[in-house]
Structure 1
C-alpha cells in the first residue's frame, strides 16, 4: 500500500537510505533535488549519544537522472513495516511526484509472500549500493546538522 504522503511540489524528490533497517540509525543518506538538475546529497554517521558527523555535496545532473531511473524500478516492489524482506539491512524511502515508496511501508501482499524473488533482492541491493556509492563519491564537505 502506498504511503499517504503528499508528493513534493514542482517535481522535487527526496531519496533516503537508512542503515540498519530497524533500531537506531548508524548511517543516513539523503539525496534531495529535482530531476534533470544537480541535487544535494548528505551523509550522516550517527555516532551515538546524539553525536553525528555529516558530510554534504552536489550530485551531477547525469547521476541524478540515473538514480531516478533506478529508484523508479521500485514501483510495485513489496514492503513490510517490521521485516527486512530484502535482507540487505537498509531502509530506502522514495518521495517523488510519481512514486512514494518505502520498504518499510505497510503492504498486505508482503505477508503472503514467503520469499522475495532473487531478482528483486538483487535490484534492491543494486539501488542501495548505488545510493551509498553516490554518498562516498560526492558527500565530502563538512556539513552543519
Structure 2
C-alpha cells in the first residue's frame, strides 16, 4: 500500500506498507518534493469521470487506487453506476496504468527510510 499525504504546492509525505497476510511486515517512509506532488495531482485530475466498480477490474491492473483531494474524490472500486460500461477505451486503461505506475515510482524513489511497523 502506498500513501501520499500532503497539500497542493507543498512537499508531501509518502509511506509504503508491505503486508504478509493480514499483518504489516514492513514500512518505508520519505518526503516527496512539491513539484512531484503537483505532477501527481495533475495526473489524478485526468481520472475525473472514469468508471469504477466495487468488484470489476475495468483497467486490468489488479490495483486499487483511491484519491481524496480538494478537487477529486475517486476510487476505481467505489459504488457507481457503471452498468453501461461494456469496454473502456484503450486510452483510459493507459491513463490509469500511467497513474498507478507513477505512484509506484514515487514510492520507489522517495520512500527509503525504515519506519516502525
Task: Write out per-residue CA displacement over residues 31-74 of structure 1, whole angstroms, 9 at most, x where no aligned residue.
Answer: 00001010000011102251420000000010000000001111
* 1:69 aligned onto 2:49: no
- Does residue 68 of structure 2 align to residue 88 of structure 1? no
2:113 paired with 1:141: yes
Distance 1:102 1:49, change over 3 A: closer
Tell me the SS of whatever aligns to 1:91.
coil
How far is 1:107 from its partner?
1.5
> 2:89 maps to which residue?
117
Question: 5+ residue gaps in structure 2?
Answer: none
Please show how residues 95-110 of structure 1 align to structure 2 within 5 Å.
95-108=68-81, 110=82
- Secondary structure of 2:60's match? coil
**Secondary structure of the structure 1 residue equivalent to 2:79:** coil
Question: Does 1:53 find its partner at 2:26?
Answer: yes
Normalising by structure 2, we get a TM-score of 0.96
For residues 44 and 13 of structure 2, the distance between their equivalents in structure 1, rounded to whole angstroms, comes to 16
Moved over 2 A (4+): none
Normalising by structure 1, report the TM-score.
Answer: 0.78
Give the Cα–Cα distance (whole angstroms) in 2 for the partners of residues 60 and 34 of structure 1: 11
* Unpaired stretches in structure 1, ≥5 consecutive residues: 1-27
- SS for the counterpart of 1:111 is coil
Say whether the 8 Å CA contact 2:3–2:14 is kept in structure 1.
yes
C-alpha separation in 1, matches of 2:18 and 2:24: 9
